[in-house]
Amino acid sequence: MLRSFRSEWIKLRRRAMVLGGAGTLVGFAVLTVALTLMTASTTPADQGPDQGLTLAQLAAGDGLARTIGGAAQFIGVVALAMFAISMAGEYTQGTLRNLLVRQPRRVRLLGGKLLALASFTAVAVVTAEVAAVVTALVVAPSQDIATAAWFTSDGWAALASGLGNLLLATLGWGLIGALLALLLRSPAAAVGVGLAYALPFELLVTSAWDSGVRWLPGQLLGTLASGGAATVTYGRAALLLAIYAALAVTAGMTLFARRDVAT
Amino acid sequence: MTTNIAPAGALADPAAGARPAPAIRSHGLTRRYGPLVAVDHLSIQVPVGVVAGFVGLNGAGKTTTIRMLLGLIAPSDGSAEVLGKPITKPAAYLSRVGAMIEGPAFYPTLSARRDLDVLAVLGGHPRAKIQQVLELVGLADRADDPYRAYSLGMKQRLGIAAALLPDPALLVLDEPANGLDPAGIIEIRNLLRRLADQGTTVFLSSHLLAEVEQISDWLVMINHGRLLFDGPIDQVLDRQRPELVVAAEHPGDLATVAGLAAEAGHPDTTANGRFLRVQAPASFAGELNRLAMRQGVTLVELRPEQPNLEDTFLHMTTQTPTEVQ
């Protein structure tokens, strides 16, 4: 699995992955933070649970963490696309057959590949967090937002847990992308279906079925990223997502190990 | 028909005592796609150390067979061993197999060197080998160019380089000459011959029959997924009888020549325009010339024509399976 991991990292260092994948992810984080701070007002706006934060909320100890957390879904969608393109691309480019000749133990190959993608995503999320903090420090003074509370012990703790939650949620989206890639074996189809699921599909389902927020993976990943919500506790979201992840990994590994490689 | 040879250096097969194990052996290997039978009870034996040509019409089942041998797709029925190990356990033998299947496939934005690095790291091969195989296929000077900038011939060479990374005991190449210029084809032919001389078994799928004929000492021929021939290439060529092609100064004399050939024990003749084709070995040419001169017939052309793989292939693939057997 280590050889597969190292081999995958050679591919991940491609400019397309660094700029197109990780760069986009960092860009979304920076843009979200800048816009959140620049559009903040003294009264709350109806823009979703963690957007439209008031100036007072932003100046609180967890203000910075909540601001960055607002980018979770955008970052998640980018991760979904990165995983899907990287996995499904092996089928469409025909490179999977080369990989399987050199590493016929398919579970090891897939395991190493997923771990490499996860570590790459982790580096990108941490970079995005750092870039978002720097952006916040640059933009906050121009909006008269006090930043002193961000760097208290409570502020640092909120930032650290926010980063952990954001990372877990992002990897969850990535896993959805990987599973779709293994099922559909086409980057365009995997990204298309993934985006359709993440954006309109779950929104439509939850608007018709209130309990959807307690069960649907996308909703639970949002809850995880924001550290819990009124409707779903953090613990429930984490437990359900862990079960979904185990099922997804098992299904993906089984499919990958057993299916013919005819491309 | 199946013929086996047991060359020196063949792998010892513990299950068979001292009997050498072929590099590839299949028993009734079959692959179905719904009602379509892509490979139909294929039983072959390719000895160690030969260059084996694997020929068949488009859609004959060559690539499907290769994919099964490499563990990429599962057979519907039958079994096979590669380097003495069953294809159900590809990890047991693929570390000693190099392969290029259905043309080269690499990451377009990576350089050739990086593309090989991906495979070398994955396969646990020393990275020093990368430069060595790049030089071997003549790509060392362009190794840092992105793969997408390569010509078809260069991509093909990179595919062969990748197949050589593990120092293979068995090299499986699917249409390696595609896109290569004549000089490139000769280079690759010499390379494969050299590898075979060093003990590597080469299993070469190609539609360039003249190329296969030149390089191969073993032949596996299939049609519609079924085996037509598996054995030394000379045996299949011997199935086609040699001919003498004759032209007379006066075309009307060809009937006389046909009669002379028949009297001498070679009655199978075919008139074709100003030529007469006489089924006879090259050694009969001198006698036929003398007989014709005695009858006052002047021959302006008299040349032996040896059977080639292309004719033999066409002959065999247009016969029914019963006729071939």
**What is the amino acid identity at position B304?**
P
CATH number, domain of B263, equals 3.30.70.790
Residue B245 has pLDDT above 70, yes or no: yes
Residue A64 has which token pair? 């910075």
Distance of alpha carbon B59 from alpha carbon A136, whole angstroms:
62
Sequence-ordered strand ranges (E) for chain A: none
Q: CB–CB of B121 and A10 under 8 A?
A: yes
A-interface mutation test, from B65, B67, B111, B121, most A Cβ less than 10 A away: B121
Of B190, B214, B238, the domain-final residue = B238
Distance of alpha carbon A68 from alpha carbon A152, whole angstroms:
17
First to last CA, chain B: 7
Share of chain A above pLDDT 90, in %: 43
Residue B67 has which token pair? 């994919």
Which among A16, A99, A101 has the least Cβ separation from residue B109? Answer: A16
* Contacts of residue A79, Cβ cutoff 8 Å, sequence gap at least 6: A25, A121, A170, A171, A173, A174, A177
- Does a structural domain hold residue B113? yes
Query: Does A97 reach chain B within 8 Å, measured CB to CB?
Result: yes
pLDDT the model gives residue B325: 41
Which among B94, B117, B122 has the least Cβ separation from residue A4? Answer: B122
Same domain, B84 and B159: yes
Residue B103 has pLDDT above 90, yes or no: no
Same domain, B153 and B261: no
Instruction: Return the residue of A nearest to B114 by Cα.
Output: A10
Same domain, B179 and B250: no
Residue B4 has pLDDT above 70, yes or no: no
3-class DSSP assignment, residue B173: strand
Q: Report pLDDT digits (tens) over A75-103.
A: 899 999 999 999 999 999 999 999 999 99
Same domain, B159 and B207: yes
Same domain, B196 and B253: no
Query: Does A105 reach chain B within 8 Å, measured CB to CB?
Result: yes
Q: CB–CB of A99 and B122 under 8 A?
A: yes
Distance between A78 CA and the closest CA of chain B, angstroms = 21
- Does a structural domain hold residue B312? no
Residue A207, classified by CB atoms within 10 Å of its CB into exposed (0-12), middle (13-18) or buried (19+), is exposed
Instruction: Return the residue of A nearest to B100 by Cα.
Output: A98
Give the CA dihedral B207, B208, B212, B218, nearest 10 degrees: 20
Is the complex ipTM higher than 0.90? no
Same domain, B102 and B245: no
B interface toward A at CB cutoff 8 Å? 67, 70-74, 90-91, 94, 97, 99, 101-103, 105-110, 114, 117-119, 121-124, 162, 165-166
* Contacts of residue A165, Cβ cutoff 8 Å, sequence gap at least 6: A69, A224, A225, A226, A227
- Please state the rounded mean pLDDT for residues A135-142: 85
Domain count of the fold of chain B: 2
Same domain, B127 and B264: no
Which residue segment(s) compose the domain that B287 sits in?
241-306
CATH number, domain of B225, equals 3.40.50.300
- Does a structural domain hold residue B226? yes
Sequence-ordered strand ranges (E) for chain B: 11-12, 20-21, 24-33, 36-42, 45-46, 51-55, 77-82, 85-86, 97-100, 170-174, 201-205, 218-223, 226-232, 243-248, 269-272, 275-279, 299-305
Write out chain A residues lying below 8 Å of B109, CB-based. 14-16
Same domain, B88 and B215: yes
Same domain, B163 and B220: yes
- Does a structural domain hold residue B131? yes
Q: Are A63 and A37 in contact (CB under 8 A)?
A: no
CA B171-A100-A245 angle, to 5 degrees, is: 175
Write out chain A residues lying below 8 Å of B166, CB-based. 102
pLDDT the model gives residue A137: 86
Q: CB–CB of B67 and A262 under 8 A?
A: yes
Of B216, B238, B260, the domain-final residue = B238
Residue A194 has which token pair? 């993934």
Distance between B194 CA and the closest CA of chain A, angstroms = 23
- Does a structural domain hold residue B325? no
Q: CB–CB of A93 and B99 under 8 A?
A: no
Same domain, B145 and B29: yes
Same domain, B160 and B250: no
pLDDT the model gives residue A52: 62
Q: Are B143 and B112 in contact (CB under 8 A)?
A: yes
- Does a structural domain hold residue B271? yes
CB pairs under 8 A between A and B: 78
Distance of alpha carbon A233 from alpha carbon A214, whole angstroms:
9
Residue A138 has pLDDT above 80, yes or no: yes
Which among A98, A101, A260 has the least Cβ separation from residue B97? Answer: A101
Of B212, B238, B264, the domain-final residue = B238
What letter does residue B111 receive in the DSSP assignment?
B
Instruction: Return the residue of B nearest to A15 by Cα.
Output: B109
* Contacts of residue A68, Cβ cutoff 8 Å, sequence gap at least 6: A29, A32, A33, A129, A132, A133, A136, A159, A162, A163, A166
- Does a structural domain hold residue B317? no
Same domain, B262 and B153: no
For B288, how many CA atoms within 13 A lie in the half-sphere containing its CB?
Answer: 32
3-class DSSP assignment, residue B219: strand
Which among B73, B74, B123 has the least Cβ separation from residue A102? Answer: B123
- Please state the rounded mean pLDDT for residues B59-73: 93
Distance of alpha carbon B99 from alpha carbon B90, whole angstroms:
13
Alpha-carbon distances of A262 from A90, B66, B178, B267, rounded to whole Å: 12, 11, 20, 52
Residue A152 has pLDDT above 90, yes or no: no
Q: How much is the pTM?
A: 0.82
For A153, how many CA atoms within 13 A lie in the half-sphere containing its CB?
Answer: 0
Residue A106 has pLDDT above 80, yes or no: yes
- Does a structural domain hold residue B265? yes
